[in-house]
Structure 1
Amino acid sequence: MVKVLFVCLGNICRSPLAEAIFNHKINQSNLIHKFSSDSCGTSDYHIGELPDERTLNCAAKYGIPIQHRARQINRVDLRDFDYLIAMDNSNKKNISTLLQNHNINHDRIFLIREFQPETDSLEVPDPYYGGSECFEEVYGILNDAIEHFLEHLRKHEGTYV
């Protein structure tokens, strides 16, 4: 089973939405037995909270369920997940620092947008301080990037998605 961890700052906007989109796509493809995913934040700002209401509303609009409570990344995550997928450079850097601090080698740390063949930015913008249109933009970015990430998994993990 391939284990994927989506990471953002507070784990209430981008990463829980990425996790939910990923799970929705693998469920639709009958591949839930081949993958495990979760999401977390690099900060402790929202531990135990539900995703932002705007995240929940955006996901519901597309028929995507979210069952998640915010949590912070930990040493076990760094060892146990096959892919560590960050939403922006700051969070990718924080993951790398944690890996160094715990003397853990990991060669599958990516920005989610690295999988998009044509993009003007490698970062998923943080919609937290914006309105519902910002969450819609993030949904569109993540939906496309995750589709390309699944193509990557098919090529590199021998999994047909």
Structure 2
Amino acid sequence: MASSNKSVLFVCLGNICRSPIAEAVFRKLATERGVVDQWVIDSAAVSDWNVGRFADARAQSCLRKHDIETAHKARQVTNDDFASFEHILCMDESNLRDLNRRASKAKNCRSKVDLLGSYDPHKQLIIEDPYYGGDEDFETVYQQCVRCCKAFLEKNS
């Protein structure tokens, strides 16, 4: 990774719903602003349950509805992520606890670990897992990610 690049890793439990939506939304926003080349953007999971799988079909459908495509395959957070990503943004308190525990054991940790929702102008701190919900729950996640990613990008541009 070039040292001049900024970097962000979006994290949720399985890396098939919330974090791939956040990654795709952020990539689109950065592209629209003409700054995507200045960023390293990725997403990952705290668990290893879905490693290698594409995003949930409902997440992909939601993104397509908003003219966004993703080919991301789920991966688990690695110790190297804490050394290479400037920002690690997660979706809920459970993700945050898991990441902070991992960060405390990672060598050369430089990541600022935080909730993506901490950037929400509507002050909705938690981005709930839509996995057991319906299309409207994926849309809610999408809208939260748009608000949070816009605010995060503005603060870090």
- Aligned pairs for 1:1-161 (under 5 A) are 1-106=5-110, 108-119=112-123, 121-154=124-157
**Which stretches of structure 1, 4 residues or longer, exceed 2 Å deviation after superposition?**
101-107
Segments of 5+ residues of structure 2 without an aligned counterpart are none
Figure out how many residues of one structure are paired with residues of the other and give that number.
153
8 Å contact from structure 1 (residues 115, 152) kept in 2: no
Per the TM alignment, residue 102 of structure 1 is displaced from its structure 2 partner at its CA by: 2.5
**CA offsets, 1:61-117, max 9 Å, x none?**
000111200000001111100101011111111111011123444451110111123
Cα RMSD for the two superposed structures? 1.2
Matched AA of 1:63: D
SS of alignment partner, residue 128 of structure 1: coil
**CA offsets, 1:23-78, max 9 Å, x none?**
01111111121111000000001000000000000000000111200000001111
Percent of aligned positions that are identical: 35
Matched AA of 2:74: A
Question: Normalising to structure 2: TM-score of the pair?
Answer: 0.93
